Amino acid sequence: MHIIDSHFHWWPRSIFDKLCKRRDFPKARVNARGGYDYMRRRDSGQHLNSWAEWFDLDKQFEYMAGLGHEVDVVCSIGPFSVAFSDMPLAEGRDYALMWNEEMAGAQKKYSGRLWASAAVPLQDTAAAIEVVDDAVNRLGLMGVNLPGSVGTDARIDSERLEPFYAHVEKLGLPLFLHPTDVIFQDMLDGYDGALHLSLGRVIEVSVGAMRLILSGMMERHPHLKIIMSHTGGSLPYQAGRMDKNSKAARLPRPVQDYMKRMYTDTVSPHAAGIKFAIDYYGIDHVMYGTDYPCWDPAPCLRLIDELKLSAADQQKLFYDNARRILNLRDPVPARAPNREPALA
């Protein structure tokens, strides 16, 4: 079967090698697993760790080929997406441009098999818009990464960011909303990171989505396309509570109306969770995704098989929805230049 993995991560080594040379936080260091430890600040409770599999696209595609399907991928940044807003503006902008160049290079190398989305420094709205325009118009990237917070600022719904959301809406770009290791990292410390990794990230992406709703951002920008990771976090399962306890925000419509405008993926190691996301959002709003290399696609495929979806719904989940929602386009074949015939 032809599959698109809508939640796939590849990170370029060049970025992390450069971060290893930084003296101040944030910075990185090489670890024993063939990857890097990324440290946001000196007193961070947890470090964002990676391993060799994150950095080798050829091996990643080789593994995908072993699943018995034809698999294309959509690259998003994941929890590292906040890094570009952690630095001083000029540096964060330069790192974002460097990241986007790497993504564009991979998109060109694996044309028709890989699509990639852009890093954006959100600590300055004008710079964010400038970087988005460069990523889309010059580099041909297909979407934008939205961390659950902006640097040390929890508010991705900040009033100053309204022009950014308006611009992304105008361009028709999907926003990949993914949790980071910022807001709940320290309060959910201990257990070697187990509490934060299992619960903190799910809470953060849920809070980020609710900020976009309760602030009226989704109301004022009805065509804003939010891709909420991890089967919608906790929101679908607490949808009634979201409606019941959100009246103080004075929205013209129930919160669930805005929630159901969002899209999500199948990243949940629980068949019942995947099924509930499909039931709640509707099959047309859910895309196959694995969070690879954070999660193994093989068990993900087995869990979806347990759902016994119809052939038509499988086609939507595995392929058609991603093409439509993310506006993925096949590469345009190069045309031979028109030349005058050579003289005899």
CB 67 within 8 A of CB 298: yes
pTM above 0.85, yes or no: yes
CA-CA distance, 6 to 288, in Å (whole number)?
6
pLDDT at residue number 45: 60
Domains and CATH numbers, the chain: 2-325 (3.20.20.140)
335 C-beta neighbours (distance < 10 Å), count? 6
Give me the pLDDT at residue 192, please.
86
Question: For residue 344, what pLDDT is reported?
Answer: 39
- Low-confidence stretches of the chain (pLDDT < 70) are 45-46, 331-344
**SS3 letters across the chain:** CEEEEEEECCCCHHHHHHHCCCCCCCEEEECCCCCEEEECCCCCCCCEECCHHHHCHHHHHHHHHCCCCEEEEEECCHHHHHHHHHCCHHHHHHHHHHHHHHHHHHHHHCCCCEEECECCCCCCHHHHHHHHHHHHHHCCCCCEEEECCECCECCCCCHHHHHHHHHHHHHCCEEEEECCCCCCCCCCCCHHHHHHHHHHHHHHHHHHHHHHHHCCHHHHCCCCEEEECHHHCCCHHHHHHHHHCCHHHCCCCCHHHHHCCCEEECCCCCHHHHHHHHHHHCHHHEECCCCECCCCHHHHHHHHHHCCCCHHHHHHHHHHHHHHHCCCCCCCCCCCCCCCCCCC
Rounded to the nearest integer, the mean pLDDT of the chain is 93
pLDDT in tens, 307-342: 999 999 999 999 999 999 999 987 655 455 455 544
Q: Is the dihedral of CA 53, 54, 55, 58 positive or negative?
A: positive
Tokens 């698109």 belong to: 4
Phi then psi for residue 216, to 5 deg, are 85, 5
Question: Which pLDDT score is estimated for 73?
Answer: 98
Buried b (16+ CB within 10 A) or exposed e, 100-124: bbbbbebbeebeebbbbbbbbbbbb
Q: 143-157: buried (b, 16+ CB within 10 Å) or exposed (e) per residue? A: bbbbbbbbbeebebb
Tokens of 57: 């696209």
**Quick one: pLDDT at residue 343?**
46
Contact 96, 114 (CB under 8 A): no
